[in-house]
Structure 1
Amino acid sequence: MRRIPYGPVRDGWRLTNFSLGLTYNDTELPDGTMHSYWQEGPYYDFTEAEIEELETATTVLHAMCLEAGDWMVKQCPRLTRQGRRDGYLASVCSPQSCFLARIGIPEFAHEQIIRTWFDGDAETWTHEDKDLDLRFPPQTPDYSPSVYGRFDLWYNGAGSTPRLLEFNAQTPTSLVEAAVIQWHWADQTNLTKHPWRQWNSIHDRLVGWEAADGEPANPGAWRRNIAKLREARPWLPAKPKIFFAYETSETTGEDRMNVAYLMATAEEAGFPVELIAMSQIGWDVAGDRVVFVPGPGQDHKAEPIDVIFMLYPWEWFWNEEGGKAFFRNMADPSKRGTVWIEPPYTAALLGNKALLPVLWKLFGDDPERSKYLLPAYFAESSSAAKLTSYAKKPVWGREGGSVTLIKDGAVLTDNPSEYGADGHYVVQQLLELPSFDGLEGVVHPVIGSWLIDGEPAGMGIREGLGTEGLVTKDQCNFLPHTIGAD
């Protein structure tokens, strides 16, 4: 792993990147200067062995996260038949008795988090344990697709071991630049003759590819997941319409373009699609279901939503007015409730920082798996109090918001924000990001390792400058990469 500071600069690269979807590259800073998110010129180069190490780490970490999710849902009283009966009219979950309640998830959401977690597991529907009711609802199998996610990893090249910093499991962005922009950059600069050129099969794994040399074709994440969904919900048409929703209050256009790119891959995979705003997701009281509400100038009526992808945090959704109705709609697949991509469990079990202490609790004593982790604890625990160098992170947070780095008992850097107001924090043993020399000073890269349908699919690199760059924020740069550059 090496940083090349003086790579080629393509003529018209800004216009090229814009035309490919990077419409949110330039940002005006408070001092009036312009900041370019994409860095044209510098790039990182990896050996094939380093890429294989990152791919292995991603595979192992994903398997560990699935085990951690199993552990979390088993800490909820509503998993048991008795818990479901007792909780019909009264609360059975408290921070003392339930892991989900401990991290601030409202109880009305717990059953659907658990149900969507077990969807698609054949053993779920034949489980005969008298105490555990793993069927949500009983004897009605369903499927809750999860298409993508991204691990943020510490890595310093050969001789080091990738370490998990966090899992962006529900709303990861930087997808356009990782899947499309850097792929075209590698094609246009032609810096390497290596057959891999770049670790980047994101687009192909979403869309699929045709068979060659007698090998079976890969249908891609969209076709594979929708096919499984139709097995569980046979009333859906062969090609159900997929809505794609984004939050219009995000003014840079980043959310819109990430959602639009995912929508384009679903359309390329053969499905009808429609891009909508989060504010256009409505509730039909008479029909008791989720609908798309057309905006001004759209003359068609409200349309039922069978399948929808939304780039919007579930922890916002379930705390907003009306959230209970959407979770009730999910409760019984036989009533044709809406299917959400990504499903609620991606936020509740995987996409928040509470995952980190659970992983360490389960695998901290396993040398083959703990090597990919950093010791992590809930901030109020006695183990956390013993750490003198650590990262303090809000359980519910994004883009480095409210992350504080402590080194030898003193603040190294922090990033105040609105996240963490609920008081839910974890601490993770400090491992400072690697340092490389950049034109403007010392820079610190973090590896974004992408998963498509649970499989390693590629990499994007974000880079911060100076001490403040030890926490990766929204204005940190994106740099492309190669394998075996000349």
Structure 2
Amino acid sequence: MRRVAHGVQREAWERANAALGLTYNDTPLPDGRVVSYWREGPFYDFDLDEVLALEQAASTLHRMCVEAGDHIVSRCPRRDRAVRREAYLSAECWPDTCLMSKIGIPEYVHEQVIRTWFDGDKDAWTHADKDLFGAHTHAPQGPDYSPSVYGRFDLWYAGKGSTPKLLEFNAQTPTALLESAVIQWAWLEQTGQTNDPERQWNALHERLVEAWRRNMAELRAARPWLPERPTIYFAYETSETSGEDRMNVAYLMETATQAGFPTELIAMSQIGVDEADGSVRFQRNQFDVGPQIDVIFILYPWEWLWHEEGGRPIFRNMADPTKRGTVWIEPPWTAALWSNKGLLPVLWELFGDKPEGELLLPAYFATDRPATMTSYAKKPIWSREGANIELVRDNVPLVANRQGDYGAEGFVYQELRELPSFTGLEGVCHPVLGVWMIDGEPAGLGIREGVGVDGLITRNDAHFVPHTINSHL
């Protein structure tokens, strides 16, 4: 792994990138400057065996996360209760007895996190059917299906001779997908910075198309009343004004379209619930309530939605025992069990003393942090884009990102592993490697880097830098 500082710079590269969808390249800084999000010229180069090591690490981490999800679910008292749609206000879970409560997930959400976690696993779901639905006469017949299409592991990695380390798992709403799948591939095609037949670790587009086909086939098997090609809605939050969310969602929608499904791009504000029957519908405007939404992808954090007024009716609809409620992609368990930083101490508890634990950094909930941990990253459980994260080295603050409103939900402490340093024209650059998981399998790589000591925390102003395999430069 090396950083090539002086690669080919394309003429009018901004226009070329924008034509492919990177319309959010200009990043405003607090001091009023505007910088380019995309790095043109520098790139990272890998040996093939380094890529294979990253791929193997991601596969192992995914298996570990599945076990961690089972563990978190097993620690919820509602795991052994019958679903009662009228029982949303009852209290059975407390932080000292339920991991989901400990990391701030509202109790009314737990049952559907558990149900969707078991969806698709026929053996586990048979057990869950008995536990969750008890003797209900309207219990579902056979397993349901709640597809998870994509996610991204953010890894520390310093090249050959080092072991990748998990920093966090962006399992529900990762962006930088368009850059990873399309923009950096076009950059490679146009610059020819390697002659290796492998060229770049990037099978994202093809894997996404296939993921939609496979997951929708599984969904139709579980819900045979769905049309052969149901419309998949894709929703984004229009208050995000840079265009990043919209273009990432539009790209995902394009892969579903190429998979053969009708699609529709909508705003989150156009998702409504029919008060008469509780169905989730596409609301074109305040006067026109459109068709029921059978399947929808949202680029919107579940931890926001379940605290909003509209959250409860959505979860009631999801609990429909006839399985005719809306299917949400990504399902709520991806946020509840994987996308929060509470996953990190759970993984360490389960695997810290096992061989695969070498892929982890010691991590603890705040109440469990040992006094001997003097160098650490202090991370809010629900932090995004590096917000409110603090790095401490030998009990001395190193750098902190004060932007954001996270922290009231609690913190985890992860052993400090400072990002690798590469010297470039921009200064000392610190890359974090984002390994994309498509349909549960590693499929490609995207790299973001910060500069200087502030760049040790990967923030929303970090730059995207393309990569190659075995460059001739």
TM norm structure 2:
0.96
Aligned counterpart, 1:395: 381
1:233-252, Cα deviation, whole Å (9 max, x unpaired): 00100000000000001111
Q: Identical aligned pairs, as a percentage?
A: 62
Aligned counterpart, 2:27: 27
Whether the 8 Å contact between 1:460 and 1:478 is mirrored in structure 2 is yes
1:437-460, Cα deviation, whole Å (9 max, x unpaired): 010211100000000000000000
Amino acid at match of 1:193: N
Is residue 265 of structure 2 the alignment partner of residue 275 of structure 1?
yes
Aligned counterpart, 1:356: 344
Amino acid at match of 1:436: F
Worse-matched range after superposition: 401-410 or 333-342? 333-342
Aligned counterpart, 1:370: 357
Equivalents in 1 of 2:57, 2:221: separation in Å? 32
Aligned counterpart, 2:57: 57
- After TM superposition, list the pairs within 5 Å mapping 1:26-425 onto structure 2: 26-81=26-81, 90-127=90-127, 132-133=131-132, 137=139, 139-207=141-209, 220-295=210-285, 301-332=289-320, 334-366=322-354, 368-383=355-370, 385-425=371-411
Equivalents in 2 of 1:85, 1:171: separation in Å? 28
Aligned counterpart, 1:454: 440
1:170-216, Cα deviation, whole Å (9 max, x unpaired): 00000010000000001111111111100000001011xxxxxxxxx
Equivalents in 2 of 1:233, 1:87: separation in Å? 26
Worse-matched range after superposition: 247-256 or 331-340? 331-340
Equivalents in 1 of 2:81, 2:4: separation in Å? 59
Is residue 462 of structure 2 the alignment partner of residue 472 of structure 1?
no
- In structure 2, relative to structure 1, the CA distance for the partners of 1:244 and 1:310 (3 Å cut) is same
How far did 1:416 drift?
Answer: 1.0
How far did 1:371 drift?
Answer: 0.7
Worse-matched range after superposition: 69-78 or 332-341? 332-341
Amino acid at match of 1:205: R
1:376-414, Cα deviation, whole Å (9 max, x unpaired): 00012142x331000000000100000000001011000
Whether the 8 Å contact between 1:244 and 1:275 is mirrored in structure 2 is yes
Equivalents in 1 of 2:158, 2:89: separation in Å? 53
Equivalents in 2 of 1:478, 1:89: separation in Å? 45
Whether the 8 Å contact between 1:86 and 1:92 is mirrored in structure 2 is no
- In structure 2, relative to structure 1, the CA distance for the partners of 1:125 and 1:62 (3 Å cut) is closer
Equivalents in 2 of 1:388, 1:280: separation in Å? 48
1:401-435, Cα deviation, whole Å (9 max, x unpaired): 00000001011000013343424100000000000
Worse-matched range after superposition: 348-357 or 187-196? 187-196
Equivalents in 1 of 2:318, 2:85: separation in Å? 19
Equivalents in 2 of 1:419, 1:70: separation in Å? 30
Amino acid at match of 2:292: P
Amino acid at match of 1:201: A
- After TM superposition, list the pairs within 5 Å mapping 1:421-432 onto structure 2: 421-432=407-418
Q: Secondary structure at the match of 1:457?
A: strand
1:287-345, Cα deviation, whole Å (9 max, x unpaired): 3111111138xx96522100000000000000001311100101135251000000000
Whether the 8 Å contact between 1:394 and 1:403 is mirrored in structure 2 is yes
TM norm structure 1:
0.93
Worse-matched range after superposition: 86-95 or 9-18? 86-95
Equivalents in 1 of 2:128, 2:463: separation in Å? 52
Equivalents in 2 of 1:102, 1:404: separation in Å? 21
- In structure 2, relative to structure 1, the CA distance for the partners of 1:334 and 1:13 (3 Å cut) is same
Number of residues of Structure 1 aligned to a counterpart in Structure 2: 469
Amino acid at match of 2:258: E
- In structure 2, relative to structure 1, the CA distance for the partners of 1:187 and 1:88 (3 Å cut) is closer
Structure 2: state its 5+ residue gaps.
Answer: none
- In structure 2, relative to structure 1, the CA distance for the partners of 1:128 and 1:234 (3 Å cut) is closer
